[in-house]
Amino acid sequence: MIDLKQYEIWFVTGSQHLYGPKTLEEVAVHSREIASALDASTSIPVQVKFKPVLTTPEAIRELCLEANSTKNCAGLITWMHTFSPAKMWIAGLSLLKKPFLHLHTQYGREIPWSEIDMNFMNLHQSAHGDREFGFIGSRLRLNRKVVVGHWRDAEVQSEIGTWVRAACAWADWQGAKIARFGDNMRDVAVTEGDKVEAQLRFGYDVYGYGVGDLVKAVNEASDAEVEQLVQTYLDEYEVPAALRPGGEKHASVCEGARIEIGLRNFLSAGNFKAFTTTFEDLYGLKQLPGLAVQRLMRDGYGFGAEGDWKTSALVRAMKVMCAGLPGGVSFMEDYTYHFDASGDKVLGAHMLEVCESIAKGKPRLDVLPLSIGGKADPVRVIFDANTGPAICASIMDMGQRFRLVANVVDVIPTEAPLPKLPVARALWLPRPNLKTAAAAWIYAGGAHHTGFSYAVTAEHLGDFAEMAGTEFLLIDENTCVDEFKEKLRWNDLYYHLNRGLQA
């Protein structure tokens, strides 16, 4: 469902006519070589396309407008091989709507000590050419990422790759449709928000549906389709005898399959990338969608429970950011604590809807009671999550702006099996510790719902927030609550002044 190869990043080199055609030809050759090295880099998951060297304000402006109108162009990498007087960039950069990364590099890695002359120096000027370009970016108050180092270095390519992934997620949000079945869980505050503001800032559109529209799609699933999907379940999961054909709970599995078919058809027909459900609005559905949600998330859909469209969109963005990387992404909720001398821990889970992309081993299918929602026992997959470093991220509407907050955590094995817990789960130690992390999270107003991933990093999210012009707060091993609280106060001021009276 998610194909990053559809996106391209344009490699854009700045120069000027002062150097004469011969030098400019050499600049173009070098530039082409760097673009193809980045294109071939395994760290960069999209096509990197060389664009002709820019030497006039007109050409720069044209290129920026072309980037804006090229749907699969996710962003620009800019580099000033030589000196490119930056007034030439004002018109173009002011119009540019796509994210850009300023690559501060140099064609040749080392100075040839015994050979260097003024010709060499004139051709290796990015040390000052890029500063001139950097000034205009700062003067125009443009959000961008600056990456410094030689273009062949693995670290440089990896930093570019991280930004590229964030740019793909950003491109994916533009014009994205999110389906909402029912409204928010009644009385819940943090899952609310301004959808007009979200569309203006983030580019995605939230479409509301009565659950009856979904029920209709579910009822349209044929028995043959249901039978085929149940067979897929039997092939993919550990399935107890009671759930197999002839077993006492087999009908519940068939009903779950029917819900998956209906939901999948609905989302696919409407070209949706993410969705929400709510257990308070299930009229006409026999079960709360559990397995269906788990499997749709696995296939790349964003999801938020209880009408949480912001988390749904965030989960989708995180799915795009780490497409093709090992690790997985899930909707998650901080559920229960384990206060313990060896480190206070969080048991993360949800009522049903945890994505199997984070599962350790083969998930087990089961039909068990759900003590909420008042419906028939829903089918779901149950598993322990993988262990290792992970991130929880949450997005809130703070009134005048959106805020993205993330916490780096370490997922560890549970101390004993949890035979009676009927949901997928992950146990983690927040960094730097629960005491600091939870206090900072709560001061930030962070939600109980998160996007959770082993593959997405703080760098991905930071780059993404930069593109979105959104506040980003990271809680990790360096966090101190007092400083964090100060940052919250300063940010309140900054975003208030920065926003002013703009739309």
* Residue 401 to residue 397: CA distance in whole angstroms: 6
**Cβ 421 to Mn ion shortest distance, Å:** 16
> What residue type is 225 in one-letter code?
E
Q: Of 77-85, 255-263, 304-312, 492-500, which part binds Mn ion (CB under 5 A)?
A: 304-312
* Min dist. Cβ of residue 305 to Mn ion (A): 5
Phi, psi of 372 (to 5 degrees): -150, 145
**Which H or E element spans position 120?**
helix 118-123
> Minimal CB distance to Mn ion: which residue?
305
**Which of 424, 422, 296 is closest to 363 using CA atoms?**
424
Query: Based on the number of CB atoms within 10 Å of its own CB, is 4 exposed (0-12), middle (13-18) or buried (19 or more)?
Result: buried
**The two structure tokens encoding residue 467:** 């593109």
Q: How far apart are CA 136 and CA 234, in angstroms?
A: 60
Cβ atoms of residues 389 and 375 within 8 Å = no
> Nearest distance from residue 302's CB to Mn ion, in Å?
15
Min dist. Cβ of residue 191 to Mn ion (A): 8
Residue number with CB closer to Mn ion (260 or 280): 280
DSSP letters of 381-450? EE-BBP-EEEEEEEEEE-SSSEEEEEEEEEEE--SS--TT--S-EEEEEESS-HHHHHHHHHHTT--SEE
Structural element, H or E, at residue 286: none
Our CB check for Mn ion shows the closer of 218 and 288 to be 288
Closest approach of Mn ion to the CB of residue 394, in Å: 12
- Where does this chain touch Mn ion (CB under 5 A) — which range of 252-260, 300-308, 383-391, 466-474? 300-308
Closer CB to Mn ion, 60 or 293, in the complex: 293
Pairing of strands 449-453, 388-397: antiparallel
- Restricted to residues 314-353, the positions that interact with Mn ion (CB under 5 A) are 333
Query: Is the Cβ of residue 106 or residue 191 nearer to Mn ion in the bound state?
Result: 191
Specify whether the CB–CB gap between 466 and 162 falls below 8 A.
no
Nearest approach in angstroms of CB 261 to Mn ion is 25
Tell the smallest beta-carbon distance from residue 353 to Mn ion (Å): 8
Beta-bridge partner residues of 473: 405
Select the span of 83-91, 224-232, 299-307, 481-489 touching Mn ion (CB under 5 A): 299-307
CB of residue 351 vs Mn ion: minimum separation in angstroms? 7
Task: Report the 10 Å Cβ neighbour count for 493.
Answer: 9
Binding segment (CB under 5 A) for Mn ion, from list 218-226, 257-265, 289-297, 303-311: 303-311
Kindly tell me which of 305 and 444 has the beta carbon lying closer to Mn ion.
305
Q: How far is the CB of 150 from Mn ion (least distance, A)?
A: 47
- Does 305 engage in binding with Mn ion (CB under 5 A)? yes
Minimum distance from CB of 503 to Mn ion (Å)? 32
DSSP of 324-352: TSTT-EEEEEEEEEE--TT--EEEEE-SS
Only one of the segments 17-25, 88-96, 151-159, 305-313 lies at the binding site for Mn ion (rule: CB under 5 A); that segment is: 305-313
Output 305 or 346, the one with its CB closest to Mn ion: 305
In this complex, which beta carbon is closest to Mn ion, that of residue 166 or of residue 352?
352
Spatial CA neighbour of 188 closest among 351, 308, 275: 308
- The three-class DSSP label of residue 480 is coil
Query: Please, which residue, 164 or 305, has the CB nearer to Mn ion?
Result: 305
Nearer to Mn ion, 280 or 333 (CB): 333
Pick between residue 140 and residue 188 the one whose CB is nearest to Mn ion. 188
Contact 386, 358 (CB under 8 A): yes
- 333 or 356: whose CB is closer to Mn ion? 333
Of 19 and 301, CB closest to Mn ion: 301
Distances (CA, A) of 35 to 12, 151, 225: 9, 9, 47
**Closest distance to Mn ion from the beta carbon of 331 (Å):** 9
**Under the criterion CB under 5 A, does residue 211 sit at the interface with Mn ion?**
no
When asked if residue 408 is in the footprint of Mn ion (CB under 5 A), the reply is no
Q: How far apart are the C-alpha atoms of 409 and 391, rounded to whole Å?
A: 6
Smallest separation (angstroms) from Mn ion to the CB of 240: 27
**Which residues does residue 329 pair with via DSSP β-bridges, in sequence order?**
453
Binding-residue total with Mn ion (CB under 5 A): 2
CA distance 150 to 148: 7
Q: How far does Cα 184 stand from its chain's mean position?
A: 22
Q: Write out the residues near Mn ion by the rule CB under 5 A.
A: 305, 333
